[in-house]
Amino acid sequence: MNNESALTDEEKQILESYERGEFESVLTAEMRQGYVSAARRAFKKDKRVNIRMSGKDLELLQARALREGVPYQTLISSIVHKFVTGRLTDQDAP
C-alpha cells in the first residue's frame, strides 16, 4: 500500500490481518449472481438523449473525460445520474 502512513492504527491492524489471509469471504455464488443482476439493471442504458451544448463545453467535457479515463458520454451520464439522485449538488445554491 502506498499511503500506509495515512492509516489509523485500527486500519493498519485490519490490513495486516488481511495480508495474513485471516479474512474469508462469505459471498455465495447465489449472492454474487444477485449482485451482478442488480448492477446490470442499475446501469442499463436503454434511452437515448440528444442535447445541444456549446462547443467549448463539449471540448471541456471531452478533456475532463480523457483525464478521468472514461468516454465523454459516460461522464455526462454519470454527472446527470449523480445530480438526479442528489449526490451532485449546486455549491452556490442557498
DSSP assignment, residue 24?
-
pLDDT of 2:
53
* C-alpha cell read off for 29: 455464488
Q: What are phi and psi of 23, to 5 degrees?
A: -105, 145
Cβ-based neighbours of 56, under 8 Å, separated by 6 or more:
none
Mean pLDDT value across residues 51-56: 96
Mean pLDDT value across residues 40-59: 89
Q: Provide the terminal-to-terminal Cα distance of the chain, rounded to the nearest Å.
A: 41
Name the pTM for this structure: 0.53
Mean pLDDT of the chain: 88
Mean pLDDT value across residues 64-88: 91
